[in-house]
Chain A
Amino acid sequence: AQKITQTQPGMFVQEKEAVTLDCTYDTSDPSYGLFWYKQPSSGEMIFLIYQGSYDQQNATEGRYSLNFQKARKSANLVISASQLGDSAMYFCAMREVNTNAGKSTFGDGTTLTVKP
């Protein structure tokens, strides 16, 4: 079974609007971390935001927030006030502490295009 599922291969958003990128995960490990990375066309991977499985509040980093719904095993990324520079591929990743020796598993990604 896929551990990280990103169901949106591509998304479009108008500049200055908000957009939600979906991520669901599967784990039986009670201790895990969830990450979002951005990959522009240059190929580099840029860390955006982290959510721990025991964190009580949703993580926020500037225009990025993570909508963490633990019971649903969902960790959606919300980008507010989209900018043209947000056009990129976005990856959700999970790291399980106890069951997977700290390895990270990545989803297949969502390509976001911001329209002017």
Chain B
Amino acid sequence: DGGITQSPKYLFRKEGQNVTLSCEQNLNHDAMYWYRQDPGQGLRLIYYSQIVNDFQKGDIAEGYSVSREKKESFPLTVTSAQKNPTAFYLCASSSGGASQYEQFFGPGTRLTVL
């Protein structure tokens, strides 16, 4: 079955550590996205990529980094520069950036900073 996988489901991090969240898709989608969701809030865009080896900052990119070396993969690194990283992180993909393509979402990763 085609879809998006994210790992791990739960992640605990000590302050000062960098952590990397995995996102893989086998939908052959060109575009991939990372969102952050805080409790009771909507989704905020961190980074997005419309093609391999290219990505753009979203609305809250500070303290995060990404890479897009393969079409299927879009890992997100939460660096120690991110002041309040505890949140739910969702990865998504779509066929392209055009308006008619819905986004398909992974199951999410819950990150907690201890």
| Distance in angstroms between the alpha carbons of A106 and B35 in the assembled complex | 10
Contact A108 B103 (CB under 8 A): no
Residues 31 to 72 of chain B near chain A (Cβ within 8 Å): 31, 33, 35, 40-45, 48, 50, 56, 58
What is the interface residue range for chain A against chain B? Answer: 20 to 34
- The segment from B21-29, B74-82, B92-100 that touches chain A is B92-100
Contact A33 B99 (CB under 8 A): yes
Q: In the assembled complex, which residues on chain A have CB atoms less than 8 Å from the CB atom of B40?
A: 109
Binding site for A on B (CB under 8 A): 31, 33, 35, 40-45, 48, 50, 56, 58, 88, 90, 92, 96-108, 110
| Distance in angstroms between the alpha carbons of A37 and B31 in the assembled complex | 18
Contact A45 B90 (CB under 8 A): yes
In the assembled complex, A63 has its CB within 8 A of some CB on chain B: no
Contact B56 A101 (CB under 8 A): yes
- The segment from A13-21, A64-72, A73-81, A90-98 that touches chain B is A90-98
Q: In the assembled complex, which residues on chain A have CB atoms less than 8 Å from the CB atom of B99?
A: 31-33, 52-53, 95-97, 102
Contact A50 B97 (CB under 8 A): no
Q: In the assembled complex, which residues on chain A have CB atoms less than 8 Å from the CB atom of B35?
A: 106
CB distance from A10 to the nearest CB of B (A): 10
Q: In the assembled complex, which residues on chain A have CB atoms less than 8 Å from the CB atom of B102?
A: 35, 47, 50
Q: In the assembled complex, which residues on chain B have CB atoms less than 8 Å from the CB atom of A105?
A: 45
In the assembled complex, A104 has its CB within 8 A of some CB on chain B: yes
Q: In the assembled complex, which residues on chain A have CB atoms less than 8 Å from the CB atom of B48?
A: 103
User: Across the two chains, which residue of chain A brings its CB closest to B109?
Assistant: A43
Contact B43 A44 (CB under 8 A): no
Contact A104 B105 (CB under 8 A): no
| Distance in angstroms between the alpha carbons of A107 and B58 in the assembled complex | 16
Of B92, B98, B104, which one neighbours A102 at CB under 8 angstroms?
Answer: B98
CB distance from A64 to the nearest CB of B (A): 13
Q: In the assembled complex, which residues on chain B have CB atoms less than 8 Å from the CB atom of A4?
A: 42
Q: Known contacts A45-B105, A47-B104: does B98 contact A97 (CB below 8 Å)?
A: yes
| Distance in angstroms between the alpha carbons of A107 and B44 in the assembled complex | 9
